[in-house]
Structure 1
Amino acid sequence: MSDAQNEEHQSAIKTPKQLIIAVAAGFLVPIICIVLLVQYVTAGKKVGAGSEGQTPEAIAARIQPVADAGFTFKDANAPKQLLSGEEVFKSTCSACHATGAAGAPKVGDAGAWGPRLADGYDKVVGYALHGLRAMPAKGGNPDLDDIEVARAVVYMANQSGGKFKEPEVPAPAAPAAASAAASAASEPAAK
Structure 2
Amino acid sequence: MKKIVLATTALFAIMGAHAADQATVDTYNKTCVICHGTGAAGAPKFAVADEWAVRLEQGMPALVKAVDGGMGAMPPKGMCTTCTPEEFEKLITYMSTGK
- TM-score, with length taken from structure 1: 0.38
Q: Secondary structure at the match of 2:65?
A: helix
Question: Which among 90, 105, 109 is matched to residue 44 of structure 2?
Answer: 105
Answer 1 or 2: which has greater helix percent.
2
Deviation at 1:155, TM superposition (A): 1.1
* In structure 2, distance between residues paired with 1:153 and 1:122: 11
Give a deviation string over 1:37-83, Cα, whole Å, max 9, x none. xxxxxxxxxxxxxxxxxxxxxxxxxxxxxxxxxxxxxxxxxxxxx77
Question: How far apart are residue 142 of structure 1 and its match?
Answer: 1.6
Q: Distance in 1 between matches of 2:25 and 2:80?
A: 15
Alignment partner of 2:29 out of 90, 98, 106: 90
Q: Give distance in 2, aligned partners of 1:148 and 1:125.
A: 9
Between the two proteins, what is the percent identity of the paired residues?
A: 34
Q: Which has the higher contact order (CA 8 A, sep 6+)?
A: 2
Q: Distance in 2 between matches of 1:85 and 1:137?
A: 19
Bigger Cα Rg: 1
Gaps of 5+ in 2: 1-19
Q: What secondary structure is seen at the aligned counterpart in 2 of 1:140? A: coil
| Aligned partners of 1:131 and 1:138 also within 8 Å | yes
For 1:1-191, what aligned pairs fall within 5 Å after superposition?
Answer: 84-159=23-98
Contact 1:131 1:137 in 2 (8 A): yes
Contact 1:92 1:141 in 2 (8 A): yes
RMSD: 2.0
Q: Distance in 1 between matches of 2:23 and 2:69?
A: 20
Runs of 4+ in structure 1 off by over 6 angstroms are none
Unaligned ranges ≥5, structure 1: 1-81, 161-191
